[in-house]
Structure formats: structure tokens, C-alpha cells
Structure 1
Amino acid sequence: VYIFVAIRELFTFVTGLKYLYKNSPSSIKAIIQAISSLVTSVGSTYIIGLTPITYNPYLVIFYTYLTIIIA
């Protein structure tokens, strides 16, 4: 499962960054790349924060939390 997530992330991140870089004005290309990197780092930090509660006794809490976020 993780390999499919990694492949999806690779394709969407590279394609999205190239699209944003190509279609943005030259004066804000660096800002676009910085924002894209910031969003990726925030997502990674969020996952690192959730990792300790994904062990077996806490799975109910984990999935409840994810359901609340998605809803």
C-alpha cells in the first residue's frame, strides 16, 4: 500500500510543481516553489505528530480523529 502512496505522491507533486512553475509569472516563481515546499513540510509534520497514536490500542482514537477532520 505504501508504495502506491509514494508513487502517487511523486507524480502529483512533480506534476503540480511543474504546472505551477510554468504558469506563474516570473516575479513569483520562487514564492510558488516555497509555498509548495511549505505545504509538503506541514503535511509531513502532521503525519509525524500522528505516528505515536497509530499503535494498536489507539487506533479507535486515531480513526475517530481522522473522521472528524474529514467531515
Structure 2
Amino acid sequence: MNKDFWKILFTWLETASLEELHHKRNLVQQMLGQIHDRGLKSDIRRILRFMDEEILARAELSKLMSVA
């Protein structure tokens, strides 16, 4: 996956709703089970990690905002 793909992904991660993140994460997780190419599987796992990080960051931010 090229630099433009990753730029687009990071932009989407920052702007997508939490619902969109969860929905797309489920779709990407399903794709992982259907892919046999090791390189592509590695990229998909990296995408999943970035999605998980964004979901976690939003949860932590929400928690901080509710305490304040």
C-alpha cells in the first residue's frame, strides 16, 4: 500500500464517526480471514491496529471529558 493510501486512511480515521470506525473495523477483520497473501495480511493487521488505537483514544478522551 502506497503513501497516498496511508494518508487517506489517517485522514479518514480522524474524521470518521465512532460508529463508522466500528463498522469498517468489522469489515476489515472479516477481510483478514479471506486474504492469503502474507504482505497484504500484514497491512490489514496494521490497519486494524490503527483503528483500535483511534477507538481507544476516543474512549479515553470521552472518559476525560466526562470527569472534567
Band the TM-score falls in, shorter-chain normalisation: 0.3 to 0.5
What TM-score, normalized to structure 2? 0.47
> Normalising to structure 1: TM-score of the pair?
0.45
Tell which structure's C-alpha radius of gyration is larger.
Answer: 1
Which one scores higher on RCO, CA 8 angstroms, separation ≥ 6?
A: 2
